[in-house]
Amino acid sequence: MSGLAHYFEDEGLAPVVVALVREHVEKMRPPRALWVPFELGRPLGEPDDVELQRQVLTAALALLDRPALEPVLEDFAVDHNRVVDEAGWHGPVTGSANDAVAEVSGLLPLWQAYTNRTARTSTGISGLEPLSAVEFIQRFFTDDPMHNPKGMAVVSRARFCVDDIKAFYFEAALADGGRPSSSQLGEWFWNQTLGGKMLLEFQDRVANDEDRNLRLIASSLVPAERTYQYF
């Protein structure tokens, strides 16, 4: 988005980037950017928090009043105490699984219950089913990479597999209709599941890969506050 912002600006349109990854906007230097300290995928903050979302949009649009003689990067100040945990919420127990594939297999009924109840899912952008998405990531740690179907570059499919895996786990955790905060979901996924551990290790793996394109996605795979937090 930071790159597109330069093109829009050159064509006479005034863009504002709401940025989740600060180092990206620092390097790309779009004309106007508002950095927000939220989890990846939530540029406007917590779902259903209308007032917070309005504040983010108001702060972003206010940058249009600033002269763009030099790139503008503002930090969005937020009261983290706004996030309210659901009392007594616990994520699905996954301790009996011995790897991420087995864990996902065990969570499939919950995920299917969620999709049946809500008639929607955020998974599928990789073009792979949940189990295949996990295997695609796991095989990066072996000498036998998984076959990549036509239509998408390996690095893009890997990036989207990560998104699909996170969405799968979060949807499975919401199968019973509970309303945990993003903090509770994050604590469960990154600290208590093998899927979360696998993605943390995958981030380390690609950060040092000889493929420059893989190295470029490393910083956007895991929320900054979760990086290098292992079991």
Average pLDDT rounded to a whole number, residues 67-81: 78
Reply yes or no on whether the pLDDT at 224 is more than 70.
Answer: no
The stretch 122-149 carries a mean pLDDT of: 92
Higher pLDDT, 137 or 141: 137
What is the predicted pLDDT for the residue at 198? 95
CB-side neighbour CA atoms (13 Å) of 82: 15
Q: What pLDDT does residue 171 have?
A: 96
Tell which residue, 227, 168, 170, 175, has the closest CA to residue 199. Answer: 227
Q: At what angle do helices 194-207 and 154-173 cross, to 10 degrees?
A: 160
- In the chain, at which residue ranges do the beta strands (DSSP E only) sit? 17-19, 32-35, 72-75
Q: State both tokens at 147.
A: 């076959």
d(CA 43, CA 36): 7
The answer to whether the CB of 91 falls within 8 A of the CB of 185 is yes
Taking only the tens place, the pLDDT of each residue in 191-211 is 999 999 999 999 998 898 888
* Predicted confidence (pLDDT) per residue in 179-193, tens digit: 888 888 989 999 999
Q: Note the pLDDT of residue 121.
A: 96
**Among the listed residues 154, 152, 151, 5, the one whose alpha carbon sits nearest the alpha carbon of residue 71:** 5
In angstroms, the Cα distances linking 152 to 38, 126, 129, 228 are 29, 9, 15, 29
Q: Take residue 197 and report the two structure tokens written for it.
A: 């551990």
Q: What are phi and psi of 206, to 5 degrees?
A: -80, -25
User: What is the overall mean pLDDT for the chain?
Assistant: 87
Per DSSP, the three-state class of 160 is helix
Looking at residue 228, its pLDDT comes to: 44
Which pTM was predicted?
A: 0.72
